[in-house]
């Protein structure tokens, strides 16, 4: 007999849990008054980039699982619902500011081979001309594991795939079966109030879309700024990290500083027009890792939250673990990601 499950939240975590539960034959009720991509998952940057491959940890393993699964995952989503996520594995370039950074980067090549396997490289190479960051050492890290997608379009593509399997996103509905809360920054606030301690908070981020045609080029990370070329002839730029803010969805001088930094770092962007500015609030757990698992003291309720900057880089593996727990009673969630820790 099929299980019932209610999922609250239609961002990347909520939709991914819905998709996974549907794949296992569950009957899903999906609720979000803001609709798909109405929150942080409606962003514009879309960097699917791994953490550095040294000092291996639970979060790096979770991220690797998702990055490895991504090509097949997004192809299946597109086939089911017809939406285009903008996914492509195009790699990443990172500038190396000094000799010490070069030494560290070269030492990490062995870590990358150990954890990523033979299919992907992390290597120090000469900084390319044309599309590439200016680097004081003349060298950059090139990794071939990093990929990109368009966050808002990917979220809507996943919503379309879920809809094609008979599940609409409802404005409101009562719970039916166990309930998974994937409600982003507002959900972290609710959890903190319920548990009497801060488990996380919303962090504002601002990003921009620039007009520059480099659809097959690697993303660039330098000086804390991501520059991600997309298939539609644009480049997503971001982002700020703001713990204190007055308005969650307006842009300001902080974004202009990010755009200026991107232009300074990458000569190819110096004349690129700004097509769009975006701001939103992303859910960051105090641990800086996703929060997954049972809601303490609230039987039948579960949490999938805290994706912050790596929600799209962890959603597949996180959803799989949440579905294991909710549908099968199998708990594979690492201690570092549990709410009760």
**Per-residue pLDDT at 69 exceeds 90:** yes
pLDDT, one tens digit per residue, over 259-289 is 999 999 999 999 999 999 999 999 999 989 9
Cα–Cα dist 143/218, whole Å: 9
> What mean pLDDT comes out for the span 214-222?
97
> What mean pLDDT comes out for the span 184-212?
96
Question: Could you give all domains of the chain from N- to C-terminal order, each with its CATH number?
Answer: 4-88+146-199+286-337 (3.50.50.60)
Cα–Cα dist 305/289, whole Å: 9
pLDDT, one tens digit per residue, over 168-190 is 999 999 999 999 999 999 999 99
pLDDT, one tens digit per residue, over 9-59 is 999 999 999 999 999 999 999 999 999 999 999 999 999 999 999 999 999
**Per-residue pLDDT at 341 exceeds 90:** no
**Per-residue pLDDT at 246 exceeds 80:** yes
Cα–Cα dist 34/245, whole Å: 21
pLDDT at 48: 97
The helix (H) or strand (E) run that includes residue 80 is helix 58-81
> Quick check: 235 and 227 in contact, CB under 8 A?
yes
Sorting pLDDT into bands at 50, 70 and 90, what band is 339? confident
pLDDT at 1: 55
Sorting pLDDT into bands at 50, 70 and 90, what band is 3? confident
- Residue 221, C-beta contacts closer than 8 angstroms, at least 6 positions apart: 47, 49, 92, 93, 94, 227
């Amino acid at each position: 007999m099929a299980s019932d499950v209610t999922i609250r939240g239609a961002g990347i975590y909520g939709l991914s849990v819905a998709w996974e539960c549907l794949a296992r034959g569950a009957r899903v009720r999906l609720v979000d008054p803001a609709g798909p991509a109405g929150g942080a998952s409606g962003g514009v940057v879309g960097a699917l980039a791994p953490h550095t491959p040294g000092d291996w940890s639970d979060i790096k393993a979770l991220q690797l699982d998702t990055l490895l699964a991504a090509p097949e995952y997004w192809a299946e989503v597109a086939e089911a619902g017809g939406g285009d996520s903008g996914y492509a594995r195009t790699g990443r370039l990172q500038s190396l500011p000094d000799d010490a950074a070069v030494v560290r980067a070269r030492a990490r090549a062995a870590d990358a081979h150990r954890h990523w396997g033979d299919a992907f490289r992390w290597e120090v190479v000469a900084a390319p001309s044309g599309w590439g960051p200016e680097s004081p050492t003349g060298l950059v890290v090139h990794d071939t594991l990093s990929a990109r997608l368009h966050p808002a379009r990917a979220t809507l593509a996943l919503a379309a795939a879920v809809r094609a399997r008979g599940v609409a996103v409802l404005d409101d509905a009562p719970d039916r079966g166990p309930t998974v809360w994937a409600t982003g920054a507002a959900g972290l606030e609710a959890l903190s109030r319920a548990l009497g301690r801060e488990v996380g908070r919303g962090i504002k981020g601002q990003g921009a879309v620039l007009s520059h045609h480099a659809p097959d080029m690697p993303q660039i990370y330098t000086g804390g700024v991501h520059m991600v070329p997309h298939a539609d002839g644009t480049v997503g730029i971001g982002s700020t990290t703001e713990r204190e803010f007055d308005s969650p969805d307006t842009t300001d001088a902080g974004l202009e500083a990010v755009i200026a930094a991107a232009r300074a770092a990458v000569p190819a962007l110096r004349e690129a027009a700004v097509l769009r500015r975006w701001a939103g609030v992303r859910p960051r757990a105090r641990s800086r890792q996703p929060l997954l698992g049972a809601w303490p003291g609230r039987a039948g309720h579960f949490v999938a939250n805290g994706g912050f900057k790596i929600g799209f880089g962890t959603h597949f593996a996180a959803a799989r673990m949440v579905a294991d727990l909710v549908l099968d009673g199998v708990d594979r969630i690492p201690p570092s990601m549990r709410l009760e820790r």
